[in-house]
Structure 1
């Protein structure tokens, strides 16, 4: 019997921390690192093997160069790897750009909200998902790139996506540690990607329950949001190892939190078993209520995404965008993804050549998850 396998697409900070965490898993796993940069893939795979050796863990780690722009090559690679789960940690926008290469583009995103990057976050994972449908339909697609908003769009396009990583899972992992919980089972948290930052209105704050009772964790959330983003990113990646292992049958049932299970908007408490992710909502909260609550909180990112994949830009986000793109749409469907992505890339190229405008006020922190090709 072959051992469970997980492929990780990407070599950025989140992907690297995830590979290291999986490499230390106590049960056999076959890990694969996919990247357009063969050297980076080889380096990360070697680092994964080092972590496995240092801890005496059994996972193996192999590097592969991938060309997602060439469907034939991508199909052949995925058919060769035939992973139980493919985790996509690569997109066309990195939140790190805000600090590494500030420009009029990053200033626009700071004003309009992270939701504006949705088309750039979705392209790579969509290509991977389409390839899986063609050649390895049993491979479970897991998205680490803005999953709270991207996964509903993928689902609307007929690309099955099992769940996301990070975001609500990062918040829950840190909260469980702060509360001295043994595992996350006593904790149930409803939180969107936007809740990585403090909402302007207390009414928009994440909702939490402990042992089935509603509780206010605002103080703890405020404290963890002040932590270094790179450290929180690493926690989120490390916390992803347990649900991924459970998902591919290499670990016990996991009671935790994940964003966008089965293409739902936002983040939820879940139970993860072999090839299955189920919601574990608190008493008195229905599935439809939880979905509606998360859909509404998406507006805090500047773009709310309905469960049918319709994206609606909030008025402030649209106003900021139309200063640079006068006829930009205020609402679009999943089928508009390709041309929107192309137009956003052209806009980005133009704005990257312009300096950051004089600040008009405080801007939000960058997103937790950094992704790289």
Structure 2
């Protein structure tokens, strides 16, 4: 063995010792050409910052207080103390964090490796989004199709076609549609629970088909997480039973997820060349709520970090909120509806390898 090889081996051995058990993060080699995100607050990275009149924003402290991305630090519009779902996917894919579609910097070469249209407070149904003046899923799909067209100007038709077809489309939306149903007597009178679930899923399927018609082939669809376990929903429906998830929401969500997954499986069998991965975020978020110590959370999961931890979210979670925790790592929720960065790392860790192996394989 030559001298240079010996030195190289020694360096690797020392590096392994120094980093063993540490929090050093190595970015994965690029596995997809781009990442496209459609969603609501769990995936909004700043779209609502530029939506005039919207109050569903998180571009102020304490949001983002632990967020670090290169030279960018602090609040960005993410509903968490740090990184959220699309950020962690991008890291695992070896890609930059996709910019908000309506951000002035989301032009030229900056959009080639992806775009994010997620808008906090939105849903697949236009009525869900109209109350907060945010961007519904149907409009987000049209934004994505415009992004696809803009790629041609940047990289040419052939390369653009490859990027569009080989990139995963994260679809993380519909929880607000479900919560809106339980908050509206009018919706409950108009639709049975079964009819309403079908309405959401039919709308989702229609929009996914629209993406497919534009060239999209790889879809990473998330289930709705355990929304009945959030501190905000517990406060709304059962404030004296904080150690339990809200049963009626949980039951609805479980049925919805089963039907939604079935719809994606049907789409894969009927849309030639398509690949669908359905990420079960529901099961892990239920377990995180019920068994926090198993995952290293030291605080009561029915209370969030921000303020009292029982109702504060959006503008009610701010720098003046009394009682905000010092260390969000110990909390499942950062505000009363949204997970902490630590929680998101655990959630994504349960499915990321399966997602990559599924979507990176050749389409049937």
Q: Which category describes the TM-score, using the shorter chain as reference length?
A: 0.3 to 0.5
Larger-Rg structure: 2
Greater length-normalized contact order (CA 8 Å, ≥ 6 residues apart): 1
User: Which TM-score applies when normalising by structure 2?
Assistant: 0.38
Greater strand proportion:
1
Q: TM-score, normalised by structure 1?
A: 0.37
